[in-house]
């Protein structure tokens, strides 16, 4: 379990993390979602004792990371897959990490096997593709068989096979009862991987919610209707204070009335309906509604011609 | 979670096992990249070729040398003089041992595995110093014997058992180790290879020249307290007025100046590495 209390980090004049509170619980994949520059990596570095909080605290299993004697047995982390000495072999990279925490050599061979790098173990990591480096970084995170795992943008630069592999791995780690925190700016990825979401924007926590709940809460606002006479139905709906837009194919998109109300209204006025359905918001839409105000570097909206 | 590895090493969490684990990790890192052996081999070439060429030159010119020149000729220093070039290799190795980890970002992985940052730097320095000291002391002896053989008769040469000689020859290895450590701690302070190399070479090469521009004897007195000039006293056989009358500290006080620079850099490095965000 990771627990942050009033966690705040200021670099010069920039407030990177602005007093956030959260808990990351075991047994789930928790997605840490936010645009670039939102404070995800800073928070992860503070969890790992690399950056010191300006104020507030963050603990893993109730302890500050800096006070841990053998941290790799508690926490495994993948921050930057390229953060390796290019001249060192994959095996020696992991052996140096293992040795620092009293982990046996045979464990190095095990994790290399687990991530599928056994055949290139003696090759220098400078020649590795990004995907191979990601796998090696994950092997390093798994070395100490830790109860808590942190992955910062783990699918960046991976091919579809690699993405599927990481997704499956994270889900199985969580299923074993571990605490898994995964950061990403890719909503589609989070939608497939995470059970729970922490949404962060401009250093503030915008949502701390189960994924399904977030989508459900933002859904059901818009209803799509296809009718035999869309023009007349649209007029009737507008009388009932709904906002209606008509698509080129005659489909109506209705805001302000629930599908049940629309159905009742249509029956009362004798409309023939072909279709009546709630629009399920994608995570992407839910996310944009949350972070709309908090994107740090936003491109100006295109000007209509 | 389930693996036995987790419980096995957590039980022995004494300070000693923690130190041993950090030392082993740093040793694995030191020996698993090629830059170390490559630089140490270059150091050997510079020191041995330098000893042979410099001493041969003096033997050939001995007949035409003035009596004063002969009196102030220091056969030990001349056989070890290539240290002035080799120190750049050893100092640079000290720098890149640390900055290689910072610039690649690996330092984060290191501090995630070992949050005891001062311990990481301390043991990195100890392992570096042990390797460099052993190798450079060996080379210092080799350069001494090679140089004395090249001088032979008629030029002035000395035996290893002569008074002060052993100190000077051991001093060659000690001096290079000190320069290497100065590079290593400068690397911790500045974190970037180019900046740290510039700072180190500035202290070793530029500062003595710059001080020479000061008027009168002031420059001479100050110059003795630079790591370069002070430290080099230890691999001279002749001191004070005997070799041009420049420096008067003598071998061990001179080396103490060098050690003080290293200690100051180390102290600053230990304070900063704990305070800074990694």
**Residue A267 lies inside a defined structural domain of this protein:** yes
Domain count within chain A: 2
H or E stretch covering A197: strand A196-201
CB A275 within 8 A of CB A224: yes
Q: Are residues A89 and A224 in the same domain?
A: no
Q: What is the pLDDT of residue A304?
A: 47
Q: Are residues A60 and A187 in the same domain?
A: yes
**Residue A244 lies inside a defined structural domain of this protein:** yes
Domain boundaries of chain B, sorted by first residue: 15-275
pLDDT exceeds cutoff 50 at B242: no
Q: Rounded to an integer, what distance in angstroms lies between the CA atom of residue A20 and that of residue A271?
A: 51
Q: Are residues A121 and A237 in the same domain?
A: no
Q: B277, A50: Cβ pair inside 8 Å?
A: yes
User: Which residue from B175, B184, B270, B191 is spatially nearest to B230, judged by alpha carbons?
Assistant: B175
pLDDT exceeds cutoff 90 at B7: no
The DSSP bridge pattern shows strands A252-255 and A243-246 to be antiparallel
Q: Output the CA–CA distances (angstroms, integers) from residue B186 to A83, B47, B120, B236, in the order listed.
A: 22, 24, 15, 26
Q: Are residues A44 and A186 in the same domain?
A: yes
- Whole-model pTM: value is 0.85
Q: Domain end: A181, A201, A216, which one?
A: A216
Q: Output the CA–CA distances (angstroms, integers) from residue A39 to A14, A149, A199, in the order listed.
A: 11, 18, 10
Q: Are residues A274 and A180 in the same domain?
A: no
Q: What is the pLDDT of residue A11?
A: 93
Q: Domain end: A165, A184, A216, which one?
A: A216
The CATH number that applies at residue A136 is 3.40.50.300
Q: Whole-number mean pLDDT of chain B? A: 89
Q: Which residue of B has its CA nearest to A140?
A: B109
Cβ contacts of residue B165 below 8 Å, gap of 6+? B76, B144, B158, B159, B237
Quick one: average pLDDT of B244-262? 81
- How many A/B residue pairs have CB atoms within 8 Å? 122
The CATH number that applies at residue A224 is 3.30.70.100
Q: How many residues does chain B have?
A: 278
**B2 → closest Cβ in A52, A77, A145:** A145
Residues 82-141 of B with CB under 8 A from A: 100-101, 104-106, 108-115
Q: Is B245 on the interface with A (CB under 8 A)?
A: no
- Chain B hits for A48, CB-CB cut-off 8 Å, are 108, 112
Q: Each residue of B88-111: b (16+ CB within 10 Å) or e? A: bbbbbbbbbbbbbbbebbbbbbbb
Please list the ranges in chain A whose pLDDT falls under 70. Answer: 218-220, 292-305
Q: What is the pLDDT of residue B229?
A: 78
Q: A144, B5: Cβ pair inside 8 Å?
A: yes
Q: Which residue of B has its CA nearest to A80?
A: B105
Six-digit token string for A279: 């629009």
Quick one: average pLDDT of B21-38? 93
User: Which residue from B172, B165, B178, B148 is spatially nearest to B263, judged by alpha carbons?
Assistant: B178
Q: B109, A83: Cβ pair inside 8 Å?
A: yes
Provide the shortest C-alpha distance from residue A103 to chain B (in Å). Answer: 6
Q: B29, A50: Cβ pair inside 8 Å?
A: no
User: Which residue from B199, B205, B182, B156 is spatially nearest to B260, judged by alpha carbons?
Assistant: B182
pLDDT exceeds cutoff 60 at B23: yes
User: Could you identify the residue written with the tokens 């800074």?
Assistant: B276
**B17 → closest Cβ in A79, A102, A103:** A102
Q: Whole-number mean pLDDT of chain A? A: 89
Q: Are residues A229 and A203 in the same domain?
A: no
Q: What is the tens place of the pLDDT at every residue in B55-99? A: 999 999 999 999 988 988 999 999 999 999 999 999 999 999 999
**Residue A208 lies inside a defined structural domain of this protein:** yes
Provide the shortest C-alpha distance from residue B119 to chain A (in Å). Answer: 11
Q: Are residues A110 and A131 in the same domain?
A: yes
**A73 → closest Cβ in B6, B32, B34:** B6
Q: What is the tens place of the pLDDT at every residue in A192-227? A: 899 999 999 889 999 999 988 877 776 657 889 999
Backbone angles phi, psi at B14, to 5 degrees: -70, 165
User: Which residue from B71, B115, B272, B123 is spatially nearest to B188, judged by alpha carbons?
Assistant: B272
For A35, the domain range is 2-216
Residues 158-187 of B with CB under 8 A from A: none
- Chain B hits for A89, CB-CB cut-off 8 Å, are 32
**Residue A290 lies inside a defined structural domain of this protein:** no
Provide the shortest C-alpha distance from residue A96 to chain B (in Å). Answer: 5
Q: What is the pLDDT of residue B32?
A: 92
ipTM given for this complex: 0.87
Q: B1, A146: Cβ pair inside 8 Å?
A: yes
Q: What is the tens place of the pLDDT at every residue in B159-190? A: 999 999 999 999 999 999 999 999 999 999 99
Provide the shortest C-alpha distance from residue B138 to chain A (in Å). Answer: 27
Q: Are residues A118 and A259 in the same domain?
A: no
Q: What is the pLDDT of residue B243?
A: 46
Interface test with A, best of B38, B110, B112 (most A CBs within 10 A): B112
Q: Look at residue A294 and give its three-state secondary structure.
A: coil
Q: What is the pLDDT of residue B219?
A: 76
Backbone angles phi, psi at A108, to 5 degrees: -60, -45
**Residue A301 lies inside a defined structural domain of this protein:** no
- Chain A hits for B101, CB-CB cut-off 8 Å, are 85
Six-digit token string for A208: 């701390």
**Residue A304 lies inside a defined structural domain of this protein:** no
């Amino acid at each position: 379990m990771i627990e942050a209390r009033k966690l705040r980090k200021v670099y010069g004049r920039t407030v990177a993390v602005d007093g956030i509170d959260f808990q990351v619980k075991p047994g789930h994949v928790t997605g840490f979602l936010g645009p670039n520059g939102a404070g995800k990596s800073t928070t992860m570095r503070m969890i790992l004792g690399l950056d010191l909080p300006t104020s507030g605290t963050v603990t893993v299993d109730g302890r500050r990371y800096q006070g841990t004697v053998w941290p790799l047995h508690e926490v495994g982390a993948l921050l930057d897959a390229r953060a390796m000495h290019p001249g060192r072999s994959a095996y020696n990279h992991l052996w140096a990490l293992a040795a620092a925490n009293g982990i046996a050599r045979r464990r190095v061979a095990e994790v290399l096997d687990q991530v599928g790098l056994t055949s290139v173990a003696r090759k220098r990591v400078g020649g590795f593709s990004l995907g191979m480096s990601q796998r090696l970084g994950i092997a390093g995170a798994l070395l100490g068989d830790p109860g808590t795992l942190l992955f910062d943008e783990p699918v960046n630069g991976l091919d579809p096979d690699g993405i599927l592999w990481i997704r499956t791995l994270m889900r199985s780690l969580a299923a074993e009862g571990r605490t898994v925190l995964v950061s990403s700016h890719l909503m589609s990825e989070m939608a497939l991987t995470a059970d729970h979401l922490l949404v962060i924007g401009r250093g503030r926590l915008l949502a701390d919610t189960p994924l399904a709940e977030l989508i459900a809460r933002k859904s059901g606002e818009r209803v799509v209707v296809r009718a035999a006479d869309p023009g007349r139905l649209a007029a009737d709906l507008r009388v009932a204070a709904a906002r209606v837009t008509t698509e080129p194919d005659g489909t109506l998109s209705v805001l302000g009335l629930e599908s049940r109300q629309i159905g009742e209204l249509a029956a009362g006025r004798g409309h023939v309906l072909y279709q009546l359905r709630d629009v399920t918001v994608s995570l992407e839409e839910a996310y944009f509604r949350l972070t709309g105000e908090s994107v740090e570097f936003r491109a100006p909206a295109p000007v209509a011609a | 979670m389930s693996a036995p590895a987790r419980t096995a090493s957590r039980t022995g969490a004494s300070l000693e096992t923690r130190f041993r684990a950090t030392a082993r990790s740093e040793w694995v890192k030191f020996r698993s990249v090629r830059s170390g052996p490559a630089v140490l081999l270059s150091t050997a070439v510079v020191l041995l070729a330098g000893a042979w060429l410099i001493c041969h030159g003096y033997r050939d010119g001995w007949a035409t040398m003035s009596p004063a020149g002969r009196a102030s000729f220091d056969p030990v220093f001349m056989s070890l003089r290539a240290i002035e070039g080799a120190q750049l290799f050893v100092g640079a190795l000290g720098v890149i041992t640390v900055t290689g980890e910072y610039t690649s970002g690996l330092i984060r992985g290191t501090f995630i595995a070992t949050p005891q940052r001062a311990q990481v730097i301390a043991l990195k320095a100890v392992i570096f110093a042990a390797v460099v000291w052993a190798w450079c002391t060996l080379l210092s002896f080799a350069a001494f014997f090679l140089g004395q053989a090249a001088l032979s008769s008629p030029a002035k040469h000395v035996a290893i058992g002569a008074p002060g000689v052993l100190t000077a020859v051991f001093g060659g290895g000690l001096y290079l180790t000190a320069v290497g450590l100065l590079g290593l701690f400068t690397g911790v302070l500045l974190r970037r290879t180019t900046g740290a190399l510039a700072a180190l070479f500035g202290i070793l090469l530029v500062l003595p020249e710059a001080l020479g521009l000061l008027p009168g004897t002031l420059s001479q007195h100050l110059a003795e307290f630079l790591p370069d000039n002070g430290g080099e006293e230890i691999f001279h056989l002749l001191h004070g007025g005997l070799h041009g009358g420049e420096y008067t500290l003598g071998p061990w006080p001179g080396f103490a100046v060098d050690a003080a620079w290293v200690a100051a850099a180390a102290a600053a490095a230990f304070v900063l590495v704990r305070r800074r965000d990694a």
